[in-house]
Amino acid sequence: MSFSGKCNIGFLWSELLESFDFGSKHPIQIGRFRMLRDFIRENGFLDCPNVQIINPELLSEELLKKTHSAEYIAKIQNISETGVGDIDIDTPGFKNIYFHSRIASGASVTGVHSVMSGDIDHFISPTGGFHHASFEKGGGFCIINDVAASVLALKEYGLKRILVADFDVHHGNGTQTYFYDDPDVMQISFHEDPEWMFPHDGLIHDIGSGAGRGYNINMHFPMDAGDSVYQYAYDELVPKLVNFYKPDFIIFIPGFDAHYLDRLAHLTITTDMIRYISESIHKAAHRHSDGRMGVLTGGGYTRTSLKWGFATVMSVLADHPYQPPVQEPPFEDDEETWNVVRSNVSKVKDLVFSELGI
């Protein structure tokens, strides 16, 4: 499609997305997804003629079996039936977890099908981005890897160049393992330095293997890095990579937990940067992918900044005005931060750009 007029947006929503219970002390609390629905409704997004609500469907068992091992699926089912056991130390189990994980991950794949059918141009989901789950296990609050499932669904449509643009503050370690040697998937991950940030991987020299060498890009940032250095790294790396790759579909995780108010991370970006990146990715989707893109919420563990970020992305996609409050990060990017980021960007270019011939 050409980039003219307002895009048609599908917002994935069902009360079934709230069918979970990680416990009263877990960072993901019941009401998280409803809060995002209510906030965009209060700000007029759901009244826009170009925004429609799409009811998510369960992830099919067929696609689930392609995404995860039989042993791991059996583990989820057993926990679901008994209510006993955990997915991992940070991901508690609960009764009906099998159903919940299938509807939460199914929302992303439902969005993929809606875009590919031509019903909408872009989808945005209040859930999804479960990028820590791998083929044989879950963890990091992730049960079923909907990013991998969405990529596999897109491959079934015959797409050959799928971009996963993942700006979550935590590295997408699970998703990386699925497509590390696959040039049909380019993964770009901006995240906090794995030296001190979960899951403690996603190093710059991890650039893929075999035919996929150069298509796995990790750029990490030092603690307290903010908008200035983040934009520098983005401008130096992402547009060149995207224009080289010319993706057929873009899966975008905006990185709401990189915000300075987030309580589980240490970067200091604002919604200005979230808007900047969202506008860039949105334009890239229309330039290369016939507008085909999907947005998965991923992390975000302070409710105010999560709401601001989500509505900011919605405003970019739907062309509906929204302006969050003025934000004042506690730190500015100092010389030490700039030196580290410039060095990291140079390392990424030396490794990846030379490999791809950019």
Spans of all domains in the chain: 9-356
Q: Name which residue leads in pLDDT, 112 or 90.
A: 112
27, pLDDT greater than 90: no
CATH code of the domain made up of 9-356: 3.40.800.20
Instruction: Tell me the CB-side half-sphere exposure of residue 74, using CA atoms within 13 A.
Output: 3
- Distance between CA atoms of residues 58 and 102, nearest Å: 5
Q: Does pTM top 0.75 for this prediction?
A: yes
pLDDT in tens, 270-316: 999 999 999 999 999 999 999 999 999 999 999 999 999 999 999 99
Looking at the chain, the whole-number percentage of residues with pLDDT higher than 70 is: 99
102, pLDDT greater than 80: yes
pLDDT at 4: 53
**Quick one: 41 exposed, middle or buried, by C-beta within 10 A (0-12, 13-18, 19+)?**
middle
Helix (H, G, I), strand (E, B) or coil at 284: helix
Tell whether the torsion through CA atoms of 269, 253, 102 and 65 is positive or negative: negative
pLDDT at 3: 54
The CA–CA distances, whole Å, from 188 to 26, 179, 244, 251 equal: 28, 12, 13, 10
Contacts of 77 (CB under 8 A, 6+ apart): 98
- Give the chain's largest Cα–Cα span: 54
pLDDT in tens, 303-351: 999 999 999 999 999 999 999 999 999 999 999 999 999 999 999 999 9
Q: How confident is the model at residue 25 (pLDDT cuts 50, 70, 90)?
A: confident
pLDDT at 26: 83
- Distance between CA atoms of residues 168 and 268, nearest Å: 13
Cis, peptide link before residue 199, omega less than 30° from 0: yes
1, pLDDT greater than 70: no
